[in-house]
Amino acid sequence: MIKKKSRLNLHPERMVNRMEEQKKQKKFLKPRKPKQPKKQKIKKERQPWSKKKKITVGVIIGIVAVVAVIVVMSMIQSANSTVAVNSTALAQGELQRTVSTTGTVESTNTEYVADSTGLPVWTIDVAVGNWVEKGSRLCQLYNEHGTTDSEKWVSVYATATGTVTAINAKVGVAANGNLFTIENTNSLRVAAKIKQSDLGSVRSGMPVIIKTDATGDKEYTGTLQSIAPAATSADSTSGSSSTGGITSSTSSSSNPEFKGIVSIDSDITDLCIGMKTQLNIVVEDKQDVFNVDYSAVTTDDNGNNCVYTAVDANNGVYTVKKIMVTTGTESDFAVEITGDGLVKGMPIIADPSKVKDGDKVTLTTTTSRLEGEDRSNA
C-alpha cells in the first residue's frame, strides 16, 4: 500500500514558493474585461424662455422687491415712530385724606311743648315757620268744668325762643302729648352717621367739609364735636330657632352706625333744618406735596412704583423717562408721590401702559380734574 505524501513533510521554504507560483498562475488565468469606449457627452441646446415664463419670473422678482422695500421702510418707521399720549402737569399743593359720610341739618336747641290735661284745643295762635319768644301763647284749651274765666281758658306758652317747626295740636282734639316743636334756626349743626368701619379713623376735633344738594358746590366748614358711644341705627338681620317646642326670634346688626355731632363753623346762609348733607371728615391734611392721579402711577419689572415723564423736546417729539417714586397720602382721586427728579409743572404721562423708558412720544396736554382744587375728597 502506497502512502500519500503529506504536505506537512515538505520543507517550509518549498511550501512558500509553491504557494506563490499558484497565485501567479491564477492571476494569468483570470480573463480581462474589455475596455468600454467612453461615452461622449451630448450638449443640449438651451431653449429660449417663453413669453409666459418671462412674465412669471418678472412678476416674482417684482413682488420680492416690493416686499423688501416694505420691510425696510417698516423698520425705518419703527425706529423713528412716535406715540401720541396724554399728559398732566405735576401738581404741588394740598392733599387731604377724608372719610365720607352723610348727615342731616338740625337745630342746636329743640324744645317740645307738651300738655297732658286732656282738655280740648279751642284755638291755635301760631303757624309753622313763625318766630316766637319764650312765654308767647301758642294755643288755648277749654275747660267746661271751670267756674271762672281763668279756670275755663287754659293757655299753653312757648318754653323757648325760636321758630315753630311742627304743630301737633288740633282744634277740638284733646291735648295729650307734644303739641308744638320750637327750634332755634339761627344755630344749626349736623347729625352725622358714622359707620362702624370708620370709627378707627375719625375722632373728635377733626375738621369737616359740609355740602348739600340744595346749595350746589358751596362748602361749609365744621368740626366733629362728638361720637355717640352706642349705635343708633343699623341694617339688621333676623332669624328664629326652636328648642323643646319653644320658638324664639333673634336679630343682629350687620352695619351699625353711630351718631356724630358736627358743628357748623361758617355762615349758615341757605341751610335749613332737615336738609340732607354730604360730609367729608378730614383725617389727614398735607401741604405742598407732589400729587398725581392714581392712573399715572405704575410699577416696573421689579414691582417698584414709578411714573413716566417726557424730556428732551425736539420739534415736538419727546423722549420718555422713568422716575422712581414712593407713594404717600391718598385721597379719592389722587396720591402723594416723592422721588428724585420731580419738578412742579413737569409733564406726567397719564397712561403709563402705552409707553416704556426711551420711547419717542408727542404730548397732548390735559387738565387733571383735581388741578386748581384743594384736592380734597369729593
Q: How confident is the model at residue 249 (pLDDT cuts 50, 70, 90)?
A: very low
Would you state the pLDDT for residue 296?
A: 93
Last residue of a domain, one of 183, 216, 247: 183
37 SS3 class: coil
Last residue of a domain, one of 183, 211, 236: 183
Would you state the pLDDT for residue 365?
A: 74
Rounded mean pLDDT of the chain? Answer: 83
| Residue range of the domain that includes 343 | 83-95+288-365
Q: Is the pLDDT of residue 351 over 80?
A: yes
127 domain-assigned: yes
| Cβ atoms < 10 Å from Cβ of 125 | 13
**Whether the model pTM is above 0.75:** no
Q: Are residues 295 and 361 in the same domain?
A: yes
322 domain-assigned: yes
165 domain-assigned: yes
Q: How confident is the model at residue 68 (pLDDT cuts 50, 70, 90)?
A: confident
On the CB side of 167, CA atoms within 13 Å amount to: 19
Q: How many domains does the chain have?
A: 2
Last residue of a domain, one of 183, 201, 235: 183
Q: How confident is the model at residue 40 (pLDDT cuts 50, 70, 90)?
A: low
Return the higher-pLDDT residue of 237 and 363.
Answer: 363
Q: Is the pLDDT of residue 235 over 60?
A: no
CATH of the domain at 123: 2.40.50.100
Which helix (H) or strand (E) segment holds residue 314: the answer is strand 305-314
- Residue 28's alpha-carbon distances to 24, 31, 42, 159, 374, in angstroms, are 6, 8, 39, 158, 120
Q: Identify the CA nearest to 260 among candidates 285, 235, 231.
A: 231
215 domain-assigned: no
Q: Are residues 89 and 130 in the same domain?
A: no
Return the higher-pLDDT residue of 55 and 54.
Answer: 55
Return the higher-pLDDT residue of 20 and 308.
Answer: 308
- Taking only the tens place, the pLDDT of each residue in 86-107 is 999 998 999 989 999 999 999 9
CATH of the domain at 309: 2.40.420.20
Return the higher-pLDDT residue of 35 and 207.
Answer: 207
What mean pLDDT comes out for the span 52-76?
73
296 domain-assigned: yes
Would you state the pLDDT for residue 314?
A: 84
- Taking only the tens place, the pLDDT of each residue in 144-161 is 998 898 899 999 999 999
Q: Are residues 145 and 89 in the same domain?
A: no
DSSP string, 46-103: PPPPPHHHHHHHHHHHHHHHHHHHHHHHHHHHHHH--EEEEEEEPEEEEEEEEEEEEE
> Which has the minimum average pLDDT: 66-70, 132-136, 170-174, 261-265?
66-70
Would you state the pLDDT for residue 61?
A: 83
